[in-house]
Amino acid sequence: MNSFYKKDVWQIIEDGFHPEMNRKSESIFSIGNGYMGQRANSEEHYSGDSLQGSYIAGVYYPDKTRVGWWKNGYPEYFAKVLNAPNWIGIDISVNGKAVDLATSEIISFSRILNMKEGYLERSFRVTVSGNKTIEINSRRFVSMAEPDLGIIRYIVKSIDFEGTLDFTVYIDGDVKNEDSNYGEKFWIEVSKEINGNNGVLVTRTLKTDFYVATGMCFEFLKDNREIVIKTENIAREKYIASTVSLDIRKGEEVVLNKYVSVLSSLNNTKEKLTGDTKARLKEARTKGYAALFIGHKKEWERIWATSDVVIEGDILAQQAIRFNIFHLNQTYTGKDERLNIGPKGFTGEKYGGSTYWDTEAFDLPFFLKTADREVGKNLLLYRYKHLEKSIANAEKLGFKNGAALYPMVTMNGEECHNEWEITFEEIHRNGAIAFAIFNYIRHTGDDEYMADYGLEVLIGISRFWSQRATFSENLKKYVILGVTGPNEYENNVNNNWYTNSLAVWTLSYTIKNIRILERENPDKLSALYIKANFSFSDETARWQEIIKYMHFPVDSSRDIFLQQDGFLDKELKPASSIPSAERPINQHWSWDRILRSCFIKQADVLQGLYLFEDQFDTETIKRNYDFYEPMTVHESSLSACIHSIVASRIGNIEKAYELYLHTARLDLDDYNNEVSEGLHITSMAGTWLAIVEGFGGMRIKDGKILLNPLIPVNWLSYSFHARFRGLLFEVKVTKDSVSINNISEKPLDLVISGKEYQVEGSGKLILNLKIDFFS
């Protein structure tokens, strides 16, 4: 696949303006800081195809559900991350004619995402009145250091034009979500003020009553000196603006700095929003553009210092991994346990910016290895705080006695998705949430978490599995009927191997931890029994039976696990038999045809083998991989990364590399033809895992780090950082060596290709090993 964007190790570069690519590029070049995010829309008016998108983490709207046939148990609403007031607006006209990239004559254009320093830059030259040329360069960032701030430096240079520039600098709250179910707008105005070059607009959301203040102030400079300007103000409903007219001469340059602060009632008192915003703007302007940019840049330096992956010898792979790491850090900083990671982050509306199982299954392992322990903990606490709502959700579906079914899609703990096959059937998400507790504790060593929070969640989830499994007299086994596994190209199947595996694992893990707490902290356990109204003897007897007698579908002739009962009745064909014009099949085939086919949307059995690989030998994993991989179409972004890790696990480095590039460049090369809707943020963590757990073979076992490195044939080396129980270390793999740089003070114990080593605090270990790079 040819990449549309230029190859560069730290930047994404679009050269030349391509209106048909505009929506895609708006997604790709998005900026964010965990607190808010912004698509790469142009500041000046653009009349072509565009998805205007400004988003604020945690500010959502419960849009009334729209379905054809209502089914009991459906949630009343679908929560949407809200398209928030547009803060970037700077319209510009030259001698009375608007600069608009859709209609202006463009001489040159480039859009750059600088991932090292975290900014978006657009530079272009356009022809203006009388065949003259002006050049515009705009750079903007949302500050990583001061997250409520969005800053734009907008430079207009006259190449050979002399005349008047008219600027309209504005905040527009009259925005709507493109995916609004009934075409409604979700914001209403609370207040506004605009005085000269300062203004604040306060809007609030209908229903959820979030108050958001979006304030701006700006300054104009010539030759580095602020110039006196005359402003005229415009105020209409949900809109404030300041207009400024300036004369410009040939060769002259005008700089406009726009400072924006966005505060919301999530963190500020409603009544004080306007005042607080004005104060923040004053502080921002006093610091000035340059100082704010330095503060922001330093934060990115800090992030990259511990999360960068360096690949030598493969520029496409290098660019892609940084792109993935960059967007993950732009989406989630882990400072606020009320927030989570939406599949599209702040880059689009689809998936509503809500929380999916993606967080626990894909993102948590990334943040556990690259960020402070608190970040992972906050992701877990998010679910802990939603336990009550998950119990209510299960009750609504007929479960009882404290059984918890976490929502498949949520903003605030309530289920907000209403396709029955997902809402009611994709129950494997409960397993991912249980597994996340295990994963967090094995990474951090924070055993307290189990006693304080984890076990309560595990009991709720185990109760759910216990009630959801039924006994089949026919098979003399427990079965879980009517589910959708990770592979959403199958619905209402019986005994999805992955789901059944997770159910059994959760039940055993819960019992194991109850036993541990019984020994180590009986008082806490008794308190928990009372809180959860739990009786060990009454409840776990059935759990033990389910563990012992769960049905797992297998194909004994091939000696593989079956994705679900009856999978072999399908006509088994490789995905390579599908004509390329019909890919992705979800954009070409009818839904029933997809359901009847053997084609697999995303890792399913392999997702289970990835989680539970310790239970299986390499040959078993290989047989299953060889059976399922050829039928997998990878039409979920969450697929290729898992397949890549499993391919590395079985030593198939060529395939692992091919799948790595697929997952890493999924958005940059738009494999599934949907980037215009936003980026696949959650799966980006899977890309990182494909390097660290895949090529690096990193695992945690018995409280130790294990590495079994491989290296793709065309790479000279790769290196990554990882954290483990308070330690931070760097791993570098070349074709004939592995080196470990222990950046922490304490010694690091690890097992490399089967041998034990200890690297002392601040020490280095260099091993000359022949690293496999053949399949």
Tokens of 733: 């793999």
Q: How far is the CB of 707 from ligand BGC (least distance, A)?
A: 29
669 binds ligand BGC, rule: CB under 6 A: no
Tokens of 71: 């089914």
Show contacts with ligand BGC in window 619-658 (CB under 6 A): 636, 638
Pairing of strands 748-752, 704-707: parallel
Length of the chain: 775
Which region among 355-363, 369-377, 449-457, 511-519 touches ligand BGC (by CB under 6 A)? Answer: 355-363
357 binds ligand BGC, rule: CB under 6 A: yes
215 binds ligand BGC, rule: CB under 6 A: no
Residue 479 Cα to chain centre, angstroms: 33
Which region among 236-244, 308-316, 356-364, 591-599 touches ligand BGC (by CB under 6 A)? Answer: 356-364
Q: Quick one: 539 or 635, whose CB is closer to ligand BGC?
A: 635
Q: How far is the CB of 601 from ligand BGC (least distance, A)?
A: 6
Q: How far is the CB of 342 from ligand BGC (least distance, A)?
A: 9
Q: How far is the CB of 679 from ligand BGC (least distance, A)?
A: 11
486 binds ligand BGC, rule: CB under 6 A: yes
DSSP code at position 98: E
Of 330, 200, 193, 176, which is closest to residue 259 (Cα–Cα)? 200
Pairing of strands 119-128, 105-114: antiparallel
Give the binding-site size for ligand BGC (rule: CB under 6 A): 12
Distances (CA, A) of 661 to 187, 317, 319, 438, 569: 41, 7, 11, 30, 33
Q: How far is the CB of 488 from ligand BGC (least distance, A)?
A: 4
Helix or strand run (H / E) with residue 752: strand 748-752
Residue at shortest CB range from ligand BGC = 343
Show contacts with ligand BGC in window 115-154 (CB under 6 A): none
Tokens of 344: 């599209």
Q: Quick one: 632 or 652, whose CB is closer to ligand BGC?
A: 632
Q: Quick one: 81 or 638, whose CB is closer to ligand BGC?
A: 638
Cis peptide before 147 (omega within 30 of 0): no
Figure out which of the listed residues 343, 407, 413, 553 binds ligand BGC, where binding follows CB under 6 A.
343
Show contacts with ligand BGC in window 540-599 (CB under 6 A): none
682 binds ligand BGC, rule: CB under 6 A: yes
Contact 63, 78 (CB under 8 A): yes
Q: How far is the CB of 350 from ligand BGC (least distance, A)?
A: 9
Q: How far apart are CA 762 and CA 747, in angstroms?
A: 8
Tokens of 735: 């074709």
Q: Quick one: 22 or 644, whose CB is closer to ligand BGC?
A: 644
Q: How far is the CB of 682 from ligand BGC (least distance, A)?
A: 5
Q: How far is the CB of 591 from ligand BGC (least distance, A)?
A: 14
Q: Quick one: 82 or 600, whose CB is closer to ligand BGC?
A: 600
Of 271, 412, 408, 404, which is closest to residue 340 (Cα–Cα)? 412
Which region among 31-39, 77-85, 349-357, 723-731 touches ligand BGC (by CB under 6 A)? Answer: 349-357
Q: How far is the CB of 356 from ligand BGC (least distance, A)?
A: 4
Angle between the 455-468 and 536-549 helix axes, to the nearest 10 degrees?
60
Q: Quick one: 157 or 601, whose CB is closer to ligand BGC?
A: 601
Which region among 305-313, 350-358, 492-500, 613-621 touches ligand BGC (by CB under 6 A)? Answer: 350-358
Q: Quick one: 414 or 604, whose CB is closer to ligand BGC?
A: 604
Please identify which residue in the block is written with the tokens 């389910």.
546
Q: How far apart are CA 220 and CA 240, in angstroms?
A: 18
351 binds ligand BGC, rule: CB under 6 A: yes
Q: Quick one: 150 or 486, whose CB is closer to ligand BGC?
A: 486
Q: How far is the CB of 594 from ligand BGC (least distance, A)?
A: 12
Figure out which of the listed residues 602, 672, 734, 742 binds ligand BGC, where binding follows CB under 6 A.
602
488 binds ligand BGC, rule: CB under 6 A: yes
Q: Compute φ and ψ for 753, nearest 5 degrees.
A: 40, 45
Show contacts with ligand BGC in window 358-377 (CB under 6 A): 358
Q: 289 by DSSP, 3-state: which?
A: helix
Angle between the 536-549 and 497-520 helix axes, to the nearest 10 degrees?
140
604 binds ligand BGC, rule: CB under 6 A: no
Contact 122, 21 (CB under 8 A): no
Which region among 47-55, 351-359, 381-389, 670-678 touches ligand BGC (by CB under 6 A)? Answer: 351-359
Q: How far is the CB of 336 from ligand BGC (least distance, A)?
A: 22
Catalytic residue among 117, 488, 539, 629: 488
Q: Quick one: 51 or 638, whose CB is closer to ligand BGC?
A: 638
342 binds ligand BGC, rule: CB under 6 A: no
Q: Quick one: 149 or 641, whose CB is closer to ligand BGC?
A: 641
610 binds ligand BGC, rule: CB under 6 A: no
Q: How far apart are CA 593 and CA 562, in angstroms?
A: 20
Q: How far apart are CA 687 and CA 671, in angstroms?
A: 14
Q: Is 488 annotated as catalytic?
A: yes
211 binds ligand BGC, rule: CB under 6 A: no
Query: In angstroms, what is the C-alpha Rg of the chain?
Result: 27
Q: How far apart are CA 475 and CA 483, in angstroms?
A: 18
Beta pairing partners, 729? 722, 742
Number of C-beta neighbours around residue 284 at 10 A: 24
Residue type, 404: A
Contact 725, 405 (CB under 8 A): no
Q: Quick one: 38 or 672, whose CB is closer to ligand BGC?
A: 672
Q: Quick one: 200 or 434, whose CB is closer to ligand BGC?
A: 434
Q: How far is the CB of 642 from ligand BGC (least distance, A)?
A: 11
The residues near 392 (Cβ < 8 Å, ≥ 6 apart) are none
Q: How far apart are CA 7 and CA 321, in angstroms?
A: 13
Q: How far apart are CA 112 and CA 669, in angstroms?
A: 16
Which region among 133-141, 352-360, 616-624, 756-764 touches ligand BGC (by CB under 6 A)? Answer: 352-360
Which region among 51-59, 353-361, 392-400, 662-670 touches ligand BGC (by CB under 6 A)? Answer: 353-361
Question: Residues 646-656, buried b or exposed e (16+ Cβ, 10 A)?
Answer: bbbbbebbebb
Beta pairing partners, 471? 478
Q: 49 by DSSP, 3-state: which?
A: coil
Of 682, 572, 626, 593, which is closest to residue 324 (Cα–Cα)? 682
Catalytic residues: 488
Site for ligand BGC, rule CB under 6 A: 343, 351, 356-358, 486, 488, 601-602, 636, 638, 682
